[in-house]
Amino acid sequence: MDAQVFSVEGKPKQTISLDDAVFARDVSEGSIYHAIRNELANARLGTASTKTRSEVRGSTRKPWRQKGTGRARAGRRSSPVWVGGGVVFGPRPRDYGYRLPRTMKRVAMKSILSMKVRDEALSVVEDFTVESGKTRDLVKILAPLAGDNRTVLVMKDDDPMVKRAARNVPWLRFLSYERLRAHDLYYAERVVFMQSAAEKLGELYGRDKK
């Protein structure tokens, strides 16, 4: 497929060819679902924890004698039936992460990018940097392509000056073409690729042809 490349002034500059296997394939909604679910699961801290009856702090003394009081039998105040006692089958620290097949991840990324192209929500801009590192200079470049919509900027390399300029932009996320995130791409209203990143992604993902 052919894609229009825009200059940093927001004007059409040239046309480049992008790999159809990456930017114009059939959308696999199932792969997108599993990719996003996997990312969210891997991001979970899994630190929720409760104490069992053996871990609750307090006396282990029997509250009252076994018989003769007219009350129910009670062995210790850490019993789960008491307020402040232990918790039965409560959450414990655990790892929620799991591995997703590499092929499924690739299919999900291609599907999301193809969906953005179909919805006319993906743009390609010439390679640039923000030498001043100032937020207003970066916003000025992205304004014609993204406005103030929720945007993902995909770069070829980590540019510290671009990252510095983007720190104060709440609607902007930036990714490397080698480390895309399905969640960020899917929920972005606009996806802006630097020209070299779009070409490199086509080379990287286009090998699969799936």
Provide mean pLDDT across the span 154-167: 88
Provide mean pLDDT across the span 178-200: 93
pLDDT tens digit sequence for 59-108: 889 999 999 999 999 999 999 999 999 999 999 999 999 999 999 999 99
Contact 112, 205 (CB under 8 A): no
Query: Does CATH number 3.40.1370.10 belong to domain 2-27+108-206?
Result: yes
Query: What are the boundaries of each domain within the chain?
Result: 2-27+108-206
- Rounded to the nearest integer, the mean pLDDT of the chain is 91
| 89 contacts: CB under 8 Å, gap ≥ 6 | none
